[in-house]
């Protein structure tokens, strides 16, 4: 069995080009994960997901513990077999979804008791139970259970929340079953406060975890504030450990975070946008439902090499969305994921070639142009 490992190949400024090795293979960094919340990327099969260039998938502990249950997944051979995904899988701890989706929550030192948003059934999630669930799922990267600090939060509120998350992280480390090729990531909290983020990093570093998640961002603080927090947090982290910015984000967010030293990303944006008619292109976003696309024979993005852009016109996609055909969501989701993966490849190549500054300049210039109407 191969040991869990992060290899740093190249840097360009603070940006990093590397590779993570896990029990189920490797993935290149910087990397954008395919969001497979309930063991599926919505509107996609695994072959289509792989065709976008995705190497890494993230699944949701909260959703899978409710349906079909972690025990059932384990009995059926683990998450990789269950969803037919042979590559590495990350599972989040379930903490964010408990706070955002569940009902009648009761949070205390032991953990959180809540009622399912599905059927109202009562459940208890503790650091130990979160580790057990993620172990049953057989995820390559397990995330510590934490409390997602709300925004805005006072210094006192953020401190209390962060400190409890750090105590939970200690319990997660003790409960995590160490295996070759598997890793546990802690989640840095502390709101927008530098002293609290510093304390969080110090406590997590002492646990000798395999990597770091940066949590509590992209929750309403805005891009400028998010980047400010990254600017004072990332220099505190051991360079030999991968850094995962959780729940981020837009292409612009990703580019800015890569420049600051982030290695891993996940976000529902490209798939959610694909189901609601928003497409990403090298010139920004477009709404395929807009009437101006009804007679447009062009692909979504003439520079894109995805199957959607090769085979289908904007007019056809517009028709699919206007008639509420499922194929529209499938084709646009595939395109959006391809755009995100192509962006990550461009960033990796630019870092390797020490041309990141030029790449980022061109990216922002093209995004600012906006989509154009067919001539």
Residue 311 among the catalytic residues? no
Closest CA to 37 of 14, 11, 12, 64: 64
Of 12, 92, 138, 146, the catalytic one is 92
Residue 358 among the catalytic residues? no
C-alpha distances in Å from residue 348, one per residue of 141, 211, 262, 305, 354: 22, 20, 12, 18, 10
Question: Do residues 118 and 67 lie in contact, with contact meaning Cβ atoms separated by under 8 Å?
Answer: yes
C-alpha distances in Å from residue 367, one per residue of 264, 272, 286, 360: 22, 20, 12, 11
Q: How many CB atoms lie within 10 A of CB 207?
A: 16
Of 138, 253, 266, 296, the catalytic one is 266
Interatomic CA distance for residues 296 and 285, integer angstroms: 16
Question: Do residues 17 and 31 lie in contact, with contact meaning Cβ atoms separated by under 8 Å?
Answer: no
Tokens found for residue 238? 């051991």
**Edge-to-edge strands of the sheet including 112-115?**
103-107, 112-115, 122-125
Tokens found for residue 74? 């384990």
DSSP notation for 241-254 = S-EEETT---HHHH
DSSP notation for 36-93 = -TTSS-TT--HHHHHHTT---EEEEHHHHHHTT-HHHHHHTT-HHHHHT--S-EEEE-
Tokens found for residue 179? 């295996």
Q: What percent of the residues of the chain are helix, what percent strand, and what percent coil, each to the nearest 5?
A: 45, 20, 35
Report the catalytic residues.
92, 266
């Amino acid at each position: 069995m191969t040991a869990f490992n992060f290899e740093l190949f190249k840097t360009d400024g603070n940006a990093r080009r590397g590779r993570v090795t896990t029990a189920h293979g490797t993935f290149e960094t910087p990397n954008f994960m395919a969001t497979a919340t309930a063991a599926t990327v919505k509107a996609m099969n695994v072959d289509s997901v792989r065709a976008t260039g995705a190497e890494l998938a993230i699944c949701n502990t909260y959703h899978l513990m409710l349906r079909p249950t972690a025990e059932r997944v384990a009995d059926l051979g683990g998450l990789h077999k269950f969803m037919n995904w042979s590559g590495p899988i990350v599972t989040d701890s379930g903490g964010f979804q408990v706070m955002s989706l569940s009902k009648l929550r009761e949070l205390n030192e032991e953990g959180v008791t809540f009622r399912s948003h599905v059927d109202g059934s009562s459940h208890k999630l503790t650091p130990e139970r979160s580790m057990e669930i993620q172990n049953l799922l057989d995820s390559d990267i397990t995330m510590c259970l934490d409390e997602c600090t709300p925004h805005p939060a006072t210094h006192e509120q953020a401190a209390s929340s962060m400190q409890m998350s750090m105590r939970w992280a200690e319990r997660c480390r003790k409960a995590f079953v160490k295996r070759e090729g598997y890793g546990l990531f802690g989640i840095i909290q502390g709101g927008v406060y530098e002293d609290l983020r510093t304390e969080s990093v110090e406590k997590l570093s002492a646990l000798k975890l395999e990597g770091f998640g940066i949590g509590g961002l992209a929750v309403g603080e805005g891009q400028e504030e998010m980047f400010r927090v990254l600017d004072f947090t990332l220099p505190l982290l051991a360079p030999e450990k991968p850094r995962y910015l959780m729940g981020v984000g837009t292409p612009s967010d990703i580019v800015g975070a890569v420049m600051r030293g982030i290695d891993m990303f996940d976000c529902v944006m490209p798939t959610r946008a694909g189901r609601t008619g928003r497409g990403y292109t090298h010139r920004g976003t477009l709404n395929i439902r807009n009437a101006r696309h009804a007679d447009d024979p062009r692909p979504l993005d003439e520079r894109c090499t995805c199957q959607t852009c090769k085979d289908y016109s904007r007019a056809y996609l517009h028709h699919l969305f206007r008639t509420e055909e499922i194929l529209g969501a499938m084709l646009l989701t595939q395109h959006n994921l391809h755009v995100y993966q192509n962006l990550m490849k461009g960033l990796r190549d630019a870092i390797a070639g020490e041309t990141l500054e030029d790449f980022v300049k061109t990216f922002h210039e093209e995004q600012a142009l906006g989509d154009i109407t067919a001539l």
